[in-house]
Structure 1
């Protein structure tokens, strides 16, 4: 018959084997998938922000294109001197 010590030792060995197997699956499969998923989420968020920035930049460029020299000078915080046609 199998002794209690043999059963206990078998249980401990089985538990250790199970934990090692779980750990290997975690390292080999689940963790890389989670890392890749995190990267994709981050890339998506950055891409959305970049697209918003490009759209805003396009609007800003359109507003600046219609300004003449004196208006552009005032928008930048300067003072337009018409007789010399310079921005101070």
Structure 2
């Protein structure tokens, strides 16, 4: 199943992990762990935000994916299934 993981990082924690080098490593580890199909980074409500699109069939891997973001970045995380335009056309 194709999933979209969206994370936001509190400003103070984001500043701290950017300075100590943890931010880039945590994001690179996430992208590598999920074999991301796409990843985007922006600001949302003044906070660092990322969206990572990936395929995952094993729900038991969610802690492996989520916990490093919680631990390293104090991230708020949302995960939801998403469709490509082709997936949507097949469903309709």
TM-score (norm 1): 0.25
Q: Please identify the structure whose Cα radius of gyration is greater.
A: 1
Q: Indicate the structure whose relative CO is greater, using CA pairs within 8 Å and at least 6 residues apart.
A: 2
Relative to its length, the structure with more helix (as a share) is 1
TM-score (norm 2): 0.25
